[in-house]
Structure 1
Amino acid sequence: MFAIPLGDDGAELCPLEPWQADEFLANIDRGREFIGQYIRLPDVITNLATSRAYLHEYAQKAATDTGRILGIRSGGKLVGGVLFRTMDRAHGTAEAGCWLEPSAAGRGLVTRAMRVIIDWAVEERGIHRVEWIASSANGPSLAVARRLGMTKDGVLRESYVHRGERHDMEVWSVLAPEWRAAKGTGSLG
């Protein structure tokens, strides 16, 4: 299995595949409430069967070039991940997302992992626009968007119902020319 180093702290980005469903479920279980504050992932991944099905869905997306999922490992343990929920090469768009268990929060792992997959999407897959959609209440997620050099496109007011509560969702994006320019100047936080 390949791994992409995410810095000199031993963290790495690795494939996350259906045969790793038990490890993925354990990761979600460790962070169930933390992860579930703003996203549905822990409500979807509730047992080994749903974990396997979710990873199988992303294996199908990878096979059809319509999405990707990768795990973030620290000390050899799966602590979170990054993904392209959607990827439409014909239109040059992709929607990125992430999750992280609380033990790994605050170390810049998501930002570093997102740099890798955004760069891959732009340079290898020809994606022109990468979107980041997050609850206005999710400060850490919005901070990642800022560190990645994204621009806030707008707010979808009360557009997302999560656990019975309506959330405003912020849409952020970075365009391929902006990404390349920021990468060239070293300004990607």
Structure 2
Amino acid sequence: MEDPVFAVPLDDSAELRPLEPWQAQEFLDHIDRARPTVDPWIPWATRSTDLASAINVLQGYADGQAKDGARIYGIWLEGVLVGGVMFTQFDAALGVCEIGCWLEAAGEGRGLVHRASRILIGWAFRERGMSRVEWRTSPANKRSVEAARRLGMRRDGVLRSQFPYGGVRHDTEVWSVLADEWTG
């Protein structure tokens, strides 16, 4: 049984909860389902191929959170992990963090990533005093670009040939919203 103390409802059948190393098998099962749509965009999806690597990914985020850095949260729909949101970088001293997301097909079209991302962005500004929240994505990832736009972010620019994947270097778009622009 899940501990409801750490769950935030996203709608009547979905919730946002911390995603921790003890949930590695559930995470791996989810990534195996999500791999066709997230593998090109989420680097750790490529590396999460067995239980040990799934534990390693989640432990990395747990270690990051312990250092007031990266954090990861899962989105559960009717009790099944279908995606998540994360702070890939979190620098309280600079007042800048980066969020990201992923979702398997079973969770698409319900606004879950949008609502979960708004929770993270609002927390970063309201509770942690961040000045800037970033969203980085490949220009080819149209769903991610649209997610940033729907969140009210502005496109800052493109880091050309910034990210290696599959033996090819890819561009990265940088989107952001500033504390005084956030209407959350």
TM-score (norm 2): 0.94
Percent identity of the aligned residues? 54
- 8 Å contact from structure 1 (residues 35, 41) kept in 2: no
**Are 1:102 and 2:105 an aligned pair?**
yes
The amino acid of 1:115's aligned partner reads R
Q: Does 1:138 align with 2:141?
A: yes
Residue 119 of structure 1 and its aligned partner are, at CA, apart by: 0.7
What letter corresponds to residue 8 of structure 2 in structure 1? I
What are the residue-to-residue correspondences of 1:1-189 with 2, within 5 Å? 1=3, 2-8=6-12, 10-179=13-182, 182-183=183-184
* Aligned partner of residue 11 in structure 2, secondary structure: coil
1:106 is paired with a residue of what secondary structure? coil
Alignment length (residue pairs): 180
- Per-residue Cα deviation, 1:34-93 (whole angstroms, up to 9, x for no partner): 111222222111110111111111111111111210000001100011000110000000
The answer to whether the Cα contact below 8 Å between 2:44 and 2:57 also exists between their aligned partners in 1 is: no
Which consecutive segments of 4 or more residues in structure 1 shift more than 4 A?
Answer: none
* Contiguous gaps of at least 5 residues in structure 2: none
Q: Distance in 1 between matches of 2:43 and 2:171?
A: 15
Q: Give the Å deviation of 1:98.
A: 1.1
User: Which consecutive unaligned segments of at least 5 residues does structure 1 have?
Assistant: 184-189
SS at match of 1:91: coil
Give me the CA root mean square deviation: 1.1
Secondary structure of the equivalent of 1:6? strand
